[in-house]
Amino acid sequence: MADLKKIAIFISGRGSNMQSIVKACQSGEIPAETSIIISNRADAAGLDFAQSKNIPTAVINHKDFSDRTAFEDALNEALRPHAIDLICLAGFMRVLTDHFIAKWPNKILNIHPSLLPKFKGLHPQKQALEAGENESGCSVHYVVPELDSGPVILQKAVPIIAGDTEESLSARILEQEHIAYPQAIRKILA
């Protein structure tokens, strides 16, 4: 199918959001195909899933490069053969700089487990609990150089329930992440 958009997904670990995107491509929910999965960690569990689906993978370890620019150039080299339309960060634990982002204007998405602009950065679920919120959720947004700060495409809220822990809230949000990311991709490709 010639008009399928080509998606690259960057991961660092479990890759459950990556799986939800791959499945949405395969079911036709998203008019796209996953062309490559890139991980900065060789031990990312998500790589096994990608390989089981015969999706090309690449490991580009940031520690092998002298600086962020060289790392980002290597990411671009890996993407080059695939004519990528959209890059989805899915639990990718490296901050991309303007050196990379400027080459992909409005083409990089991220998912963050909070209702942005609330609770940017690490452990947003714990931040929400500590702030005494009665709801939290997830946000799919465009990536800009400032962390977790690009325009929001789609959000899903979940309630915070008495007795919630970081783990229980994270699990409730993650269920919504798996719905939100494919919906956001579908929305921007429409």
Q: Is 82 a catalytic residue?
A: no
Chain residue at closest Cβ approach to ligand GRF: 91
Taking the complex as a whole, the smallest distance from the CB of residue 178 to ligand GRF amounts, in Å, to: 8
Nearer to ligand GRF, 73 or 168 (CB): 168
- CB of 13: closest distance to ligand GRF in angstroms? 5
Residues of the shown chain interacting with ligand GRF in the complex, contacts defined by CB under 6 A: 11, 13-17, 90-91, 111-113, 174, 177
Give the bridge partners for 6, in sequence order: 33
How many Cβ atoms are within 10 Å of 115's Cβ, its own excluded?
Answer: 21
Exposed, middle or buried: residue 44 (CB in 10 Å: 0-12, 13-18, 19+)? buried
In whole angstroms, give the CA distance from residue 127 to residue 121.
10
- We find the least distance from the C-beta atom of residue 21 to ligand GRF, in angstroms, to be 9
CA 4, CA 86: separation in Å to the nearest integer? Answer: 11
Nearer to ligand GRF, 21 or 84 (CB): 21
Shortest separation between residue 26's beta carbon and ligand GRF, angstroms? 17
Of 105, 115, 61, 114, which Cα lies nearest the Cα of 85?
Answer: 105
φ/ψ (deg, to 5) at 30: -110, 130
Active-site hit among 99, 112, 141, 178: 112
The pair of structure tokens assigned to 66 is 């002298």
C-beta of 91 vs 182, nearer to ligand GRF: 91
Complex with ligand GRF: residue 32 or 90, whichever CB lies closer: 90
Active-site annotation, residues = 112
